[in-house]
Amino acid sequence: MRRFEACEMSRRNSGNGHHWEWLDTPTCARGKELIPGLLRRMRAMEKDLKLIEEQKKEVEDKLKIVEREKKELEYKVGELGKQKRLLEEKRIGQRPRENQIWGFEFGGHIGVGVFNLLMRGHEWIIVI
């Protein structure tokens, strides 16, 4: 593609004496052969890029959906964990006392009473 400059009369479209001249030198023969092929390749690459961008958007949309589902499942897992703990606490509360607490029992006199050292889970409890 070449650029040209037109005279003032040509710009106003008045009169018959239109004058213009080329600003660029003519394209060489090799350039005339190469440029159309390069333009075709460039258009094909732009088309491929557009397709890739559309695929990227689809994948990002799917990722958002999966992340949303993951958050929902994590919330449900947390809720189920809470329910499990409540059921375990309820189940432990219904057992006979000897099955709830196990450990060592020491008989000793402190002041007026007797104390017991018991282990519940991983905690030591002193019962007076």
pLDDT of res. 106: 45
**109 forms bridges with which residues in the sheet?**
114
| Biggest CA-to-CA distance, the chain | 130
Task: Give per-residue pLDDT as tens, 17-63.
Answer: 666 677 777 888 888 899 999 999 999 999 999 999 999 999 999 99
Burial annotation 84-112 (CB, 10 A radius, 16+ → b, else e): eeeeeeeeeeeeeeeeeeeeeeeeeeeee
**What's the pTM value of the predicted model, to 2 decimals?**
0.45
**5 forms bridges with which residues in the sheet?**
21
Task: Give per-residue pLDDT as tens, 4-27.
Answer: 666 665 555 655 666 667 777 788
pLDDT of res. 90: 85
